[in-house]
Structure 1
Amino acid sequence: MAMTKNAMLVEQAIKRRGGVAELTKSMGIAMDGFSEGLFDSAQRSDVPAKIIRAREPFAHALSLINDHITVRQEEIEAASAAYEDIARRLVDKLDWPISAISIHPQGSASTKTLIRMPDRTKFDIDAVCEVDITKLQAQDPMTFFGAIGEALDGLEVEPKKRCWKINFSGKPFYIECTPSVPLETIPVSQQEASRLKAAEPEFANTALAVVDTPQKKWKTSNPAGIRNWVERVSARNIVANLVLEEFTKSARANIQPVSPQSVEVEETLRVAIRLFKRHRDMRVYRQEIDKDFQPISIILVTLVTICYDGLADLIEEGVLQPFSHPVDALVAIADLLPEMIVDYPGTGYQLANPTVVGENFAERWNDDDGERAQTFDVWCGLLRADLERISALTDPKEIEAETREVFGCHAGSGPAGSGGSGGSGPYISIPRPPKPAPSTPGLA
C-alpha cells in the first residue's frame, strides 16, 4: 500500500530528527515501550497499569494546565448570544431573511482549541457570517463587506483585512466577524477576476468566499473544512489501546470536564495544540520571542494535525509502534514539530491548506528575511528545552511546580470562580514580565 502524504512528511521529519531511537531520547521518555516484548510476559495485564503509574505525575501536571487555560462555558454562551445579536442587526438593517444568515464559530472556537490569554486580556472568538445570497448580490465584494459594516453601526467595530472586529464592553472577549458567501454562489466571471482557488474535493461543500479588502477581491476560505479535518484526525488513536483503556478508567475520574471547550489529556491532538499555543503565548508574554513574528495559530494547528495524522498512518502501516501513553505521544509531537516545515529550494517554505487547493499558509515566511522561520525555530527550541527539563524530574510536586511555571499557571488565592477552569481549580496568577531594558545606541 502506498504511503500517504502525511506519513511521508512525518517519516522525513523523523529522519531529520535522527531516527526513531533519537526521537524522544533527550526528553527521558521512550516511545518504544510496546516494542520491547512487554506483552509477552506473564504479567501482561499489569503492564498498562505500570505505564500509567510512571506517567501519572506528568499527566496530572499537564491536566492542570489544560484545565486552567480552558475558556469558561458562560463566556462561550455569551459569545453565542452576541452572534444572535449580529444576525438580528443584519436582518433589521439590510432586509435580509434570517434563514439566509448563518453566524458560527471558526478557528480555535470551532476546533475546541480556544484558550485564555496569559495576561487575561480579551481573547478573540473568530466567527464566520455566512450569507446565502444570489449571484447578482455577490458580484461586488467590497459593497458586500461594507454593507455588513454598516449593519453593525452602533457597536464598537473596526475594519480588518477580512473581517470586522467587534468589541463588547464588559466582556472578556471580542469577536472578529468575517463576512462570507458560499464559494459556489460567486459568478464564474468574478471567480476568474479574483483568481479564486478551488476547494479540495473532500471539503468542497463547506468552501466559502471571503473579502480580501486590500486586494478588493474575493478569497477562498474554508473554516468549516479545517474544523472537520481536525475533528477527523483527532478521532484517530496513536496510543496503545490497552494503555488508553486503563488510563481512561484510572484517570478520567480525577479530571473534571468544565465546559464543551474542555478536552482531556487522552485527546492528544487537541491537548497538544492547546498546550503549544499556551507555551507560545507565554514566550511572547515573557518577551522571549517577537510577537510580530510568532507562529500564528493556523500554522500550529496545521503542523500539529499533519504530524498527528502522519504518525497515525505510520502506526497503522506497522512502521511505528503505538505510543505507550498520551504523554509520550504529546512529547514526541513537540520533538518533531520543528522538522515538519522545510525551506524547499526554489519554492521556499510550504505549508498547504488541507482544504484549499494551492494555498500556502507559510507564504509570509518567504518575504520577511527569515524572521518568522527563525522565531519558529527559537520557540521550538524553548518548547523542547522546557519539556526536557520537566521530564527529567521525578518528584511529583516538582513536576507540577515546574509545569505550572513553564505554562504560567501559578496556584494561589484569588476570587472564587476566577480560574481558567471555570472555578474548579486554583486561581491563576501570572507574574508580570520584566520591563524591557532601555535601548542602547549602536547595539543590536
Structure 2
Amino acid sequence: MSQTKSAALVAQAELVRPARLTKSLESFAALRDGFNTDSQDRFRYYRPWAQALNAANVHITVRPEEISAATDAYKEVGEHLAANLSWPRDSILIQPQGSVSTQTLIRSPNGNEKFDIDAVCQVDISHVEAADPMGFFQSVGFALQELEAEAKKRCWNIPFTKQPFYLEFTPSVPMESVSIQTQGVMAPRYRAAQQYDKTALAVVDTPTKSWKTSNPAGMTKWVDDTAKRSLIQTVAVESFAVGRARADIAPVPEQTVEITDTLRVAIRLFKRHRDMCVRRSVISPETKPISIIIVTLLTACYEGLADLNRTFEHPVELMDELAALMPHLLLKIGNEYHIDNPTVEGENFAEKWNHDGGERYRSFITWCKVLSADLKTILALTDPQAISKRVHEVFGIPVPTSGDVGLHTMKPPTLKVPPAGRGLA
C-alpha cells in the first residue's frame, strides 16, 4: 500500500531520529505521584510542562489591541485601493497571507521591533491587462503612493510609521485571468498543486518582469486542515485559555490559540526559539531558517504522523516528537536541499540553501540541536517552579522575580549533524 508523501517522509525520519524525550518522564511521574498509566493521569503529570509552555505561547501572542489596529489598517488600505484603482470595487479582494492567516504570528523578543502582516491584493483583471504584469504591479503601487509604499521583489511595503506593525501587500490576479499561453510558460517549473488549484494566483516577480505562481490561500488551508486532525488520544483535554483575542473584521484572524492546538503552538514556540537563537548570536539573522520553512516542515511532520495513525497521550508529548523529527524531514536530492511547497509544484523553499556554501543548512541544523537540547533540559526538570523558570529563560520571557534572570548565552551542543533525507519516490 502506497504512502502519502508526508507519511513517507515521517516514516523515514522515525528510523533516524533520537528517542522521544518525554518517554523518560513516564516512569518517573508514575513513581513520584503514584499515578496510573491511563490518559487521565498522564494529563495530570504533564501539567507543569504544559502550563509553562502555554504561558510562553500566551506571552508571544500579538496583543488584541494590535490586531485590532491591523484590521483597521486593512480596511484603510482596502478603501484606499478601491478609490484609487481603475478597476471596479467588487473586483478587488484583500486577504491576509502568511503567519497572520495561519494564526502563527508572534511578537519579537525585542518589544520595539515591528512585526509584519502580509496580505495579498487580488484583482480580477482582463486577459489583455494581464499581458503586462509590470504595468499591473506599478498601477497598484501608484494607488498606494500616498501611504508611502515602497516596492519590494513581489510586494509593496506600507510602513505605518505610528503603528507597531508594517503591511506588505502582494498584487495578484486569479490564475484564470492569465492567458493559457502565459500559464504554459509558467507551468514547467511552478504549477499549482491539483488539490489547491482553485486558489492559485499569479503574482508579479519584478526581477524577471513576469508572472509567478503563488497560493497563499492554499497554504493556509493546508495548515488549517492539518491542525484539525487530532493526534491526542485522551478525551480529558484541559483548557489553558486566558481569554480570546477579539477580531471584529474578518480579514485578520484572531491570534490566540491554546496548547491543544499543538501544531500552531509548536510553530509559534519554535519560531520564537529561533528568534532567541539569533538574539543570543547562536545563529546569524542572515542565515536563520525562514518562517515558511518552519511552517512547512512542522505541518508536513504533523500530517505524516496523522497519515501513519500515530497517536500521543498529551500535546507536550506530540510537541516533543515534532521537534525530534523536524530536522530529518529535510530532503537532499543529488547535491541540492529540498523543502517543497505543497501548494505549488516545483517551488523549493530551500532554494537559497543550495547557493550559499551550506551556511543556511548549518544554521538550520545548529538551531535544531539547540531546540532539542533546550527541550531536553526543560523536560528533565521536575519542580514546577524550576520548569517555569527554565521555559521563561529559553523563550526569552521576563520572570517577575527579584533575582536577575537575564539572557543566557546558549552555545550549540556538539552533536552529530544528521544527514538530510534522500529523495523519496
Q: TM > 0.5 between the two? A: yes
The letter of the residue matching 2:314 is H
Distance 1:163 1:71 in 2: 23
- Is the counterpart of residue 308 in structure 1 residue 302 in structure 2? yes
Deviation for aligned residue 1:155: 1.4
- Name whichever of 272-281 and 71-80 sits farther off: 71-80
Distance 1:382 1:222 in 2: 32
Counterpart pick for 2:399 among 374, 391, 411: 411
- Is the counterpart of residue 170 in structure 1 residue 162 in structure 2? yes
Post-superposition Cα deviations, 1:80-99, rounded to whole Å, max 9, x if no partner, equal 22222222222222222110
Deviation for aligned residue 1:205: 0.8
Distance 2:367 2:25 in 1: 21
Deviation for aligned residue 1:193: 4.5
Q: After the TM superposition, list the runs of 4 or more consecutive aligned residues in structure 1 that deviate by more than 6 angstroms.
A: none
1:6–1:307 Cα contact (<8 Å) kept: yes
- Is the counterpart of residue 325 in structure 1 residue 319 in structure 2? no
Q: TM-score, with normalisation over the residues of structure 2?
A: 0.87
Deviation for aligned residue 1:27: 7.4
Find the counterpart in structure 1 of residue 280 from structure 2. Answer: 286
- Residues 25 and 84 (structure 1 numbering): CA distance in 2 closer, same or farther, change over 3 Å? closer
Find the counterpart in structure 2 of residue 362 from structure 1. Answer: 350
The letter of the residue matching 1:350 is H
The letter of the residue matching 2:333 is Y
SS in structure 1 of the partner of residue 149 of structure 2: strand
SS in structure 1 of the partner of residue 11 of structure 2: helix
What does 1:65-144 align with in structure 2 at a 5 Å threshold? 65-120=56-111, 121-144=113-136
What does 1:54-69 align with in structure 2 at a 5 Å threshold? 54-69=45-60
Find the counterpart in structure 2 of residue 386 from structure 1. Answer: 374
Distance 1:130 1:431 in 2: 45
- Is the counterpart of residue 227 in structure 1 residue 214 in structure 2? no
SS in structure 2 of the partner of residue 291 of structure 1: coil
Deviation for aligned residue 1:74: 2.4
1:338–1:380 Cα contact (<8 Å) kept: yes
The letter of the residue matching 2:221 is N
Counterpart pick for 2:20 among 15, 20, 24: 24
The letter of the residue matching 1:333 is L
Q: TM-score, with normalisation over the residues of structure 1?
A: 0.84
Distance 1:83 1:25 in 2: 43
Find the counterpart in structure 1 of residue 232 from structure 2. Answer: 239
Distance 1:298 1:139 in 2: 30
Deviation for aligned residue 1:72: 1.9
Identity of aligned residues (%): 47
Find the counterpart in structure 2 of residue 204 from structure 1. Answer: 197
Post-superposition Cα deviations, 1:16-51, rounded to whole Å, max 9, x if no partner, equal 22xxxx4314873469x9xxxxxxxxx98x822210
1:14–1:23 Cα contact (<8 Å) kept: no
The letter of the residue matching 1:52 is F
What does 1:394-405 align with in structure 2 at a 5 Å threshold? 394-405=382-393
Find the counterpart in structure 1 of residue 139 from structure 2. Answer: 147
- Residues 432 and 16 (structure 1 numbering): CA distance in 2 closer, same or farther, change over 3 Å? closer
Distance 2:369 2:337 in 1: 19
- Residues 29 and 328 (structure 1 numbering): CA distance in 2 closer, same or farther, change over 3 Å? farther
What does 1:245-284 align with in structure 2 at a 5 Å threshold? 245-246=235-236, 248=237, 251-252=238-239, 255-259=242-246, 260-284=254-278
1:24–1:30 Cα contact (<8 Å) kept: no
- Residues 367 and 253 (structure 1 numbering): CA distance in 2 closer, same or farther, change over 3 Å? closer
1:156–1:166 Cα contact (<8 Å) kept: yes
Post-superposition Cα deviations, 1:300-334, rounded to whole Å, max 9, x if no partner, equal 0000000001111112xxxx4x2111100001100
- Residues 393 and 354 (structure 1 numbering): CA distance in 2 closer, same or farther, change over 3 Å? same
Post-superposition Cα deviations, 1:221-255, rounded to whole Å, max 9, x if no partner, equal 00000000001100111111xx2x21x2xx31664
- Residues 79 and 258 (structure 1 numbering): CA distance in 2 closer, same or farther, change over 3 Å? closer
Distance 1:205 1:185 in 2: 13
- Residues 136 and 433 (structure 1 numbering): CA distance in 2 closer, same or farther, change over 3 Å? farther
SS in structure 1 of the partner of residue 129 of structure 2: coil
Distance 2:284 2:352 in 1: 15
